[in-house]
A and B are shown apart, each in its own frame.
Chain A
Amino acid sequence: MASSTIDRGRRRRPAATIAIYAGVLAFAIWILLPVWYLVVSSLITPTQLGIKPFPLVPSSITLDNYASVLFGNTGGRGIGSTDMGARLVPAIGQSLFVSGCLVVLNLLIAGAAAYGLSRYPFRGARVFELSVIATRIVPAIAIIGPFFVAFRVMGVLNTPWALVISYNVFTLPLAIMILKNYFDQLPREIEEAAKIDGATRLQTLWIIIVPIAKPGLVAAGVLIFLEAWSEFFYALVLTNQLTVPPLLAGFQSVQQFNWNALAAATVMSMLPPTVLVLIFQRHVVGALTAGVGK
């Protein structure tokens, strides 16, 4: 990091500079063109959308699409249940609820487990840790059947609890891996000092470790939120468009379909994860790469 910010005064040849800026331009187009298309689509009218070629720089913009998916009607009048205007806000609420529950639960459960694995290894701890890593590889899609059957028997299909329970399949191993890595990097001296001062193990964990582990906990929390917010397959199968992703997917197959409105809803579904990651960029990238670069 430091070495890359120090300018050593080495001059680049002009050809190399031109090549780099050409690359940067190509990179910006690759990332931004699809995003720009989405944002423009959400800000224009269906009439403007019909123009060929698509107006990449629209002559006028409107916020009507956002208003319609948030409060109003998106044109699916005859088929009330599929009207995005009535369902997006509740779906965002459900998505936030499910993601929030998982963040809190997983930080507690995975935090305890990761700390235990890092500081108090027991017989079989290593095997457990390797199994946790291995679970990230087994496709969650492959074990959806039993969840569907069990949740139907329990009567929790189409409730947020179906997702709060089943999402642990992928969020919990992720959180354990990231936090284990993080705890491994924390110095042990403070804990040893606390022990000499007579603190119990539990006191040490709560009073000393939790505060200094905050960056790791934040990073893990953001990544759990990201997974829960983005999850589509389980939500599609276990609920009736309860959260945002299956609602967006369902809206695509509605008869009186309107891409402008869907674009507005899609932009809104991208905002929470993107903003969160950009705010905590350093923590999150650090946590991601710590597990990899080791």
Chain B
Amino acid sequence: MAAASDLSGLGPKADRAFGLKLVAPAMILLIALLAVPTVLTVVYSLHDVPANGASFGPFVGIENYTIIFASPVFWRSAQVTATFAIGFVVLSTVIGLAMALLLNQRFIGRGLARALLIIPWATPWLVIGILWKWFADGSVGGLNAVLMMLGLISDYQPFLSDPNTALPITVLAAVWRQASFAGILLLAGLQTLPEELHEAAGLDGANVWQRFTNITLPWLKPVLITVTVFNVIYAFLQFDVVFAMTQGGPGDTTQVLSVLIYRQLFVNTNIGLGSALAVILGVVALVGGLAIVRLFYRREVQ
């Protein structure tokens, strides 16, 4: 093989064949593990699949979808997902940007602070859920302790069993991790910003806010877009934090779509309905996906 490729080694055709050979194992794996299950999920969603999943069961067309779109449980879950996503994306991006701006300043202990920024990002999502569930707990939680010591509350509050606070607390927990991820990327973007730009603007009499909006923000724009798109994707993917903290409760106040899919597939063992829900979530995420691919593509063309 080596000899053969040597003989025609300079020809681009042999190069292309070699490239294809190198990519083939990954391509085959991704087709088998991604394309096939995706197609199967769509097929399941059009059938009334028996609970054991041994066969497709009778074909029912779009009945699963009509059931879902007529169900108040779905619309309630879609609303929870949208609320979660908006809070998650806005807070993660804003807090991440604030942390990046801060850690780009000169101060004593900056190296240590930058290492701290990495900790939430390196922590598994599930562990973040567990950690925040107990941190916000109504009887042994640290959040209650701090609020009480500050005199903001007179007694411990059951944040996660209160329908009004459960969703905001799960958002906060997820933001704790994602803001660090955003901060890491944005800080790297800031570090490439030439300091001369700021100095020149400072000489021209621009104040801090003007320099931020006229220099820093435009410089960060590409990174900010990418970070925001990542945050949108993670908002729709989110399962672990909600599952660990509330399992969708109290009631259905934190039941995001991913938790609803899990319940349909593995608690109610309704594979057809669960798959239809999965397809809907997949399509919603894919719309964002096409946006990100186009984004990558456009920047490369420039």
Contact = CB atoms under 8 A, between A and B. Distances in A.
A276 B55 CA distance: 44
A202 interface: yes
A109 B26 contact: yes
B184 A232 contact: no
B223 A292 contact: yes
Contacts of A231: 124
Interface string A252-287: 100000010011001001100110111001000100
A59 to B, nearest CB: 15
B278 A141 contact: yes
Give chain A's interface secondary structure class: helix
Contacts of A203: 2
B22 A115 contact: yes
A270 B180 CA distance: 16
Given A34-B131, A34-B135, A113-B26, A145 B16 contact: no
B22 A259 contact: no
B17 interface: yes
A293 B122 contact: no
Contacts of A82: none
A154 interface: no
Contacts of A252: 130, 133, 244
Interface string A92-117: 00000000000000000110110111
A229 interface: yes
A133 B296 contact: yes
Interface string A11-35: 0000000001101100110111111
B124 A245 contact: yes
Interface residues of B, number: 114
B2 A200 contact: yes
A259 B19 CA distance: 53
B72 interface: no
A292 B165 CA distance: 35
A9 B144 CA distance: 44
Contacts of A248: 126-127, 130
Contacts of A152: 53
Interface stretch (A60-68, A71-79, A120-128, A212-220): A120-128
A113 B240 CA distance: 31
Contacts of B33: 165-166, 168-169, 172
Contacts of A140: 237
Nearest to A31: B116
B158 interface: no
A185 interface: no
Given A233-B240, A248-B127, A31 B117 contact: yes
Contact of B37 (A21, A146, A173, A259): A146
A230 B124 contact: yes
Contacts of A281: 115, 118
Contacts of B125: 230, 232
A262 B137 CA distance: 14
Contact of B258 (A34, A134, A141): A141
B20 interface: yes
Contacts of A36: 142
Contact of A259 (B140, B237, B285): B140
Most chain-B CB neighbours within 10 Å: which of A119, A131, A142, A231? A142
A53 B266 contact: no
A7 B106 contact: yes
22 contacts: A4-B195, A23-B102, A27-B99, A28-B113, A34-B135, A49-B140, A125-B23, A130-B293, A141-B261, A142-B38, A143-B40, A172-B29, A202-B1, A203-B2, A230-B126, A230-B127, A233-B239, A245-B126, A269-B124, A273-B123, A281-B115, A288-B184
Interface of B: 1-2, 5-6, 9, 15-23, 25-27, 29-30, 33-34, 36-38, 40-41, 44, 53-54, 95, 98-99, 102-107, 109, 113, 115-127, 130-135, 137, 139-142, 144-146, 148-149, 156, 176, 180, 184-185, 188-189, 191-192, 194-195, 222-223, 226-227, 233, 236-237, 239-240, 243-244, 258, 261-262, 265-266, 271, 274-275, 278-279, 281-282, 285-286, 288-290, 292-293, 296-297, 299-300
> What 4 A-B pairs are tightest by C-beta distance, nearest first?
A120-B19, A116-B22, A137-B289, A230-B124
